[in-house]
Amino acid sequence: MSQLAQIQGIPKKVIEYLTQTFLKSGKLGYTKLAFASLLAFWGLNFLARQHGLLSKKSVKGSHIFITGAGSGLGKQMAILFARLGAKVSLTDINLQSVEAVESLIKAEGLQSKAIYCDVANVQSVKDAAKVARETFGDVEILINNAGIVSGKKLLETSEKMIEKTLQVNTISHAYTVREFLPAMLQNNKGHIVTIASAAGTVGVCGLADYCASKFGAFGFDESLRMELKQLKSNVRTTCICPYYINTGMFDGVQSKYEFLLPILKESYVSKRIVNAVLQNERVVVLPALTNAIFLSRAIFPVWLFDHLCNFLGINQTMDHFVGRTNPSQTAV
């Protein structure tokens, strides 16, 4: 147990203390002891993951390709990864924005390359990938971060915007993965990161097209992970499902119970994602309570689950949505 605890980053002394306490009490049967130990182990592992305390891999010298890197999470992740020694290809439909990020990174003496990329256009993805490979070699970590949101109810959203949302938030993932996965498989290493959303696990009023796209991104990651397992590949996947973040993309949204479902800070989420990649985590849902909401969808009857969402104010969060003044393919 202690050896496993060390591997998972859980303090050895804590595990030993819990085990010895249960054994000395003599009040618990073996079944209860096993269950209590497993629960304690899971809880400590959960806390260790949340605070980035597990053992981490190095990304020094690795080539990381980030979409939607001109602002929000993409920008913050690019800076954090560059500071860890990675070579970062910064892509966005707004070339000026990623050039500004490139300047910030290079000012610290770090490596990055600003590249124009419209992720909804397969040829643009191919062109960006070619430039990235010519600059830093094969991509070892792909972060599908670009995303857009209309923020309108279904009948108020144009057909063009619905199609664009699905193209940017979902279909583009297939374009980028198909571009970089072959080399990852050949080298038998790599990491594909999907920035999905908590709205990819639970439907939200006023986000029909966005939820559809993020459910798609979540499902894409699930299927990709299974395919890689079947291939017995060392290529990793990580899916990130955060609640609303204060990147500007969801300006105006309000949370009924901030202490339960807070609007997440961009700096916290970006650091949490970086740690999730370094720790090879498979799925990360933020904040912690959204895990319980996701679980309750499977356990509760639909009518009860709907009442729970209304009670938590989830279906009213978009009532005062404003969003960005000049939206582009940026971080969720």
Distance of CA 316 to the CA centre of its chain: 24
Residue 329 has pLDDT above 70, yes or no: no
Encode burial over 282-314: b for 16+ CB neighbours within 10 A, e otherwise: ebbbbbebbbebbeeeeeeeeeebeebbeebeb
Structure confidence at residue 41 (pLDDT): 57
3-class DSSP assignment, residue 90: strand
The catalytic residue among 175, 210, 243, 244 is 210
Structure confidence at residue 45 (pLDDT): 58
Q: Are 269 and 295 in contact (CB under 8 A)?
A: no
Active site residue 210: yes
Residues 63-331, CATH architecture: 3-Layer(aba) Sandwich (3.40)
19/46 Cα distance (integer angstroms): 18
Q: How confident is the model at residue 3 (pLDDT cuts 50, 70, 90)?
A: very low
Structure confidence at residue 288 (pLDDT): 84
User: What are the structural domain ranges in the chain?
Assistant: 2-50, 63-331
Structure confidence at residue 325 (pLDDT): 57
Tokens 């202690």 -> residue = 2
Helix, strand, coil percentages for the chain (3-state, nearest 5): 55, 10, 35
pLDDT tens string 75-105: 999 999 999 999 999 999 999 999 999 999 9
Segment 213-228 shows an average pLDDT of 98
Among 174-183, 285-294, 301-310, which stretch is predicted with the lowest mean pLDDT? 285-294
236/318 Cα distance (integer angstroms): 34
pLDDT tens string 23-72: 555 555 666 666 666 666 556 656 656 666 667 899 999 999 999 999 99
Tell which residue, 143, 180, 134, 173, has the closest CA to residue 64.
143
Q: How confident is the model at residue 323 (pLDDT cuts 50, 70, 90)?
A: confident
Structure confidence at residue 327 (pLDDT): 47
Tell which residue, 59, 76, 164, has the closest CA to residue 118.
164
Higher pLDDT: 274 or 329? It is: 274
Segment 119-137 shows an average pLDDT of 98
Among 39-43, 109-113, 152-156, which stretch is predicted with the lowest mean pLDDT? 39-43
Structure confidence at residue 332 (pLDDT): 45
Structure confidence at residue 316 (pLDDT): 92
Segment 215-227 shows an average pLDDT of 98
Residue 125 has pLDDT above 50, yes or no: yes
